[in-house]
Structure 1
Amino acid sequence: MARIAVIGAGMGAMAAAARLAVAGHRVTVYERSATYGGALGVLERDGFTFDTGPGLLHLPAVWRDLFLKTGKEPLEDCLGLVPVSPASRHLFADGTAVVLPDASRAGIVSALDGALGAGAGERWGDFLGRARDAWDRSRRPLLEEPLRSDWRVLERDPYPALRRRAFLRSRRASTVAEVGARELADPRLATLFSWYALAYGLDPRHAPAGAAVLPYLEQTFGTWYVAGGLRQLARAVHERCRKRRVEFAFGSEVVSITVRDGRAAGIVLGDGTAVEADHVVAGADTAALLTEGPAGPAQPLRSDGDVPLRAEVPPGRFTVLLALRGAAGAGVAHRSVVHSPDASAEAAAVFGGAVTDRPTVTVLRPRDPLTRPDDGHEAVTLTATVAGHRVPGAPGTGPDWTDKALRERVAETLIDTVAAADPDFGGPDALRERLLWQEVLTPAETGALPAPSLAGPAGRWLHPSNSTRLPGLYLVGGRAHPGGGLAHEGMSGALVAGLIVEGAGFRGSQ
């Protein structure tokens, strides 16, 4: 039985902890905050309950597998998992609206043809077929296996882009934006694809065409809501950890990782306490954790293979939580997306450190009695992907999201954008008359939005591997392979547990 210290109580870290405990190891999780769940936070006030991170679940099979492998109670016995149907409603700048069904390719094709004109659905359906090919080619090396030391085999984009003739030569689309322009043709379809990329923290102007797997996964395997909010998933995973005798030490900040005899030998807490461990699993940002000890001077915690480090500041989410009087009307969509009139300009602002006045806003309106005090009220969440937070005095460009005037201005922009475009709110005046109070969350509070790993040129969209150059040290969570997103974090926990239990020969799930 090995002693394992896990840094951070995020979802990937807890997924690893539960699996390691079932394998017979003694696991302790050290979390600097007062609670678990990482990005899956919650705000409760006056009978309203809001998720402060993501509000919808994709690929629930990842978490079903965790519960299957760590106990007798399946995931559905531990929380209420409800398919979102329809999956989403999209409002475009030209006034077009389309409602997309959940996990029905034929239904999606029909809806797009009806809303955007004949042929639009067929083009999107053909695009999803190519996206499926990209998924089949990349699924195992990108999600189900540890990142190989010869990661350069992933420099080839798996998306089978159509060959088009331009300027007397044949070319293939290589980015999300190019696929939109050359294959989808309709600017609204191109905007729809760009939204999927941006929502995952990817720049559609530069992200590889293989990002097509993101809409494919959602539209094939469905969109899910957890009764009471996605925070309930964090609660269920925490309870599963406790049942497997994982120990949690909250309010315990890890300041360094100890090295002895050339391997990770434990951690040091902020109060000076030294904790011995046979393995260390880092679910928090390791950039500030310098290894130290008799083996030598401090060294950065790089991973095997040395995939390129990303130079740009990752984006984040700007969130406005609205407590409204009055019930939602009949037939209101759970998720609506009000698209920016210029997706390229929006991306340029987000990844250029600027603030756009015309953002894409996602609206979540769960018809869930657990999120509101009674049937005479409604809890609504507005989110937009924005430039990451710039710490005042630090190098680089970007907004200072602690600036009160900026926060208020952007919050008003999101509210005005939705109220003007979404007829279900009855216009700006009607929405503001219903408003009891609002809360604003920015990247200054909720952090960066790590993107999922993708295959592509130079390995620019890969994340550091779960094993590192320092024996005994492993990386887990959105900043490690296979990247950000709730499902990806769960996969990273499975990979780390496999590497520790089975050793360097572990090749992933079969």
Structure 2
Amino acid sequence: MARIAVIGAGMGSLAAAARLATGGHRVAVYERAETYGGGVARYERDGFAFDTGPGLLHLPAVYRDLFIKTGKETLERSVELSQVDPSSCHLLPEGTRFALPNASRAGVVAALDEAFGSGAGERWGEVMNRARSVWEVTRRPLLEDTLAADTGPLGRDPYPARRHGLFGRPARTIAEVGRRELRHPGLASLLAGYVLGYGYDPATAPASAAVLPYMEQTFGSWYVGGGLRALADAVFERCTARGVEFHFGAEVTEVVEKDGRAVGVRLADGTLVEADTVVRGTPREPLAVDLGRFTVLLALRGPRPAGTAHRTLVHGTDRPHDGRPGTPPPTVTVLRPDDPRLRPDDAHESVTLTVTVPPQGVVDWTAPGYAEAFADRVVEVAGVAVAGLAERILWREVRTPVDTERLTGVPGGAVPGPALAGASGGYLRTGNRASASGLYLVGGSAHPGGGLAHAGMSGAIVADLIAGGPGGSR
């Protein structure tokens, strides 16, 4: 039975800790903050509650596997899990409105034909077929297995090449896929909106990023009752049930090495904690492609109207938005969960608005009045989706990448996106084995990247490596 020190209590760290403790190891987690979950956080005030990180769960099979492998209680018995239907509604600048059903290929095709005319759904379906090829090629090396020593094959984009014109080159980015293969600004904006939602710029993200909407539309979008924070609560409780020891307010300042091997961690107060193995779940320098999140939490008077969609995208520019006045309006994601646990009573509603933005440093989100002025604009855009929004606001809370950095420790408040193939490896994350023996890397900054599902997979990969396996999340 090994002594294992885990640095950080984000979702990847929790997933690894639960699996390792179930395997009989003595696991202790050291977290600089006073709580667990990392970016999967919650804000509460006056009876209103909001997720300040992700609002929906994709690929729930990752957490089903975690709960099956670590105890008797399944995921569905540990949290209230439900499919979101429609998966999303979309409002385009010229006034087109449409909704996409959850995990229904035929339903999506029909909805897009109705919104954009006959043939639109077929073109979208053709792109999703090519995205399925990406999924089939990259699922194991990019998601289920630890990162191979030779990452060269993953540097090549597996999105099937389609030349446009006799001498034209294949589409290299998501924006080019939208223009050349979807051939309709509304469909292109839909594709870009998915990629923006995962924290990448469609103008630079490789064509392989089409796998992101493919995964959503194939495996569905899910909501956790009480908000996504309830999932973090359940994983934490699973850890404690398996005997994981937690130390909050305990910042690790150093991984102690001896003869090239990790032998423990040193805390900010000077305490040396000896360990046979160390798992680092704390963030590292983000990739240059990683973007941030700007969030406005709204406490509203008045009930949530019946039939309101859980998620609505109000499409504006298909690029990350830096908040400058005079620029095209941003694309805003509006989350309106029908959950009585998130509001004081049925005469009120909690709404979350999110925009993908550059991290702190690229933009100075601390400049006087800058964030508040951008929040005004975000609320104005969201008013298209929420009737009478301005008059309904009781109060609002604004979160910028600066707040994300404070919460998670990620420099600049960037939110790591999932690993993607292509772009010469520019969207790959650090491998799960560190250079020092006995040191492993987990969480959004490590392979296979950011997002709830990917963090859970990184925990499974690391636990398997420590157990002597090849490093697989299967």
- How many Å apart are 1:402 and its aligned residue? 2.6
**Alpha-carbon separation, structure 1, partners of 2:471 and 2:347:** 53
> Is structure 2 residue 362 aligned with structure 1 residue 364?
no
Identity of aligned residues (%): 60
Are 1:326 and 2:292 matched, yes or no? no
1:390-401 alignment runs, 5 A limit? 390=361, 398-401=362-365
- Equivalent residue in structure 2 for 1:212, among 196, 210, 213: 210
**Aligned counterpart, 1:302:** none
Q: Which runs of 5+ in 2 are unaligned?
A: 405-412
Q: Would the aligned equivalents of 1:6 and 1:281 in 2 still touch at CA under 8 Å?
A: yes
Alignment map for 1:369-380 (pairs within 5 Å):
369-380=340-351
User: What is the TM-score when the length of structure 1 is the normalising length?
Assistant: 0.89
**How far did 1:74 drift?**
0.2
Residue 184 of structure 2 is aligned with which of 173, 183, 186? 186
Q: CA deviation at 1:314?
A: 2.6
Poorly superposed stretches of 4+, deviation over 3 Å: 353-357
Displacement after TM superposition at 1:161 (Å): 3.1
CA distance in 2, matches of 1:386, 1:33: 25
| CA distance, structure 1, for counterparts of residue 366 and residue 41 of structure 2 | 19
> What is the SS of the residue equivalent to 1:502?
coil
Contact 1:10–1:38, Cα closer than 8 Å, also in 2: yes
Q: Given the superposition, is the C-alpha separation of residues 507 and 45 from structure 1 closer, same or farther in structure 2, using an over 3 Å criterion? A: closer
SS in 2 for 1:122: helix
Can you list the C-alpha shifts for 1:195-217, whole angstroms capped at 9, x where unaligned?
A: 11111121211211110110000
Q: Partner of 1:27 in structure 2?
A: 27
Which residue of structure 1 lines up, in the alignment, with residue 161 of structure 2?
A: 161
Task: Tell me the distance in 2 between the aligned counterparts of 1:149 and 1:375.
Answer: 54
1:497 corresponds to 2:460: no
Within 2, Cα distance between the matches of 1:170 and 1:49?
51
CA contact (8 A) 1:161 1:173 kept: yes
**Which of 376, 379, 385 is the aligned partner of 1:415?**
379
Deviation of 1:444 (Å): 0.4
Aligned twin of 1:254: 252
- Residue 46 of structure 1 aligns with an amino acid whose one-letter code is D
Amino acid at match of 1:107: G
User: Quick check: 1:79–1:232 contact (8 Å CA) kept in 2?
Assistant: yes
In the alignment, residue 263 of structure 1 is paired with which amino acid?
Answer: R
Counterpart of 1:387 (choices 334, 353, 358) is: 358
Q: CA deviation at 1:457?
A: 3.4
Matched, 1:436 2:412: no
- Please say if 1:147 is aligned against 2:123: no
Superposed, 1:50-129 pairs within 5 Å as 50-129=50-129
Q: Does 1:476 align with 2:442?
A: yes
Alignment of 1:259-408 (within 5 A): 259-286=257-284, 310=287, 312=288, 314-340=290-316, 342-343=317-318, 346-347=319-320, 349=321, 358-390=329-361, 398-408=362-372
CA distance, structure 1, for counterparts of residue 90 and residue 265 of structure 2: 48
The answer for the alignment partner of 2:430 in structure 1 is 464
Matched pairs, number:
465
Query: Which letter does structure 2 place at the counterpart of 1:169?
Result: F
> Structure 2 CA distance, aligned partners of 1:189 and 1:286?
36
Contact 1:354 1:399 (8 Å CA) reproduced? no
CA contact 1:313–1:388 (8 Å) conserved in 2: no
Q: Could you tell me whether the CA contact under 8 Å between 1:161 and 1:179 is conserved in 2?
A: no
Establish whether residue 488 from structure 1 lines up as the match of residue 446 from structure 2: no
1:275 partner letter? V
Give ranges in structure 1 of 5+ residues lacking alignment.
288-308, 391-397
Native 8 Å contact 1:4 1:27 kept in 2: yes
1:214 is paired with a residue whose SS is helix
Residue matched to 1:291: none
TM-score (ref. length: structure 2) = 0.95
Task: Summarize deviations over 1:411-470 as a string: whole Å, max 9, x none.
Answer: 101100111x22xx33xxx32221111111111011211111111132111011000111
Distance 1:172 1:212 in 2: 14
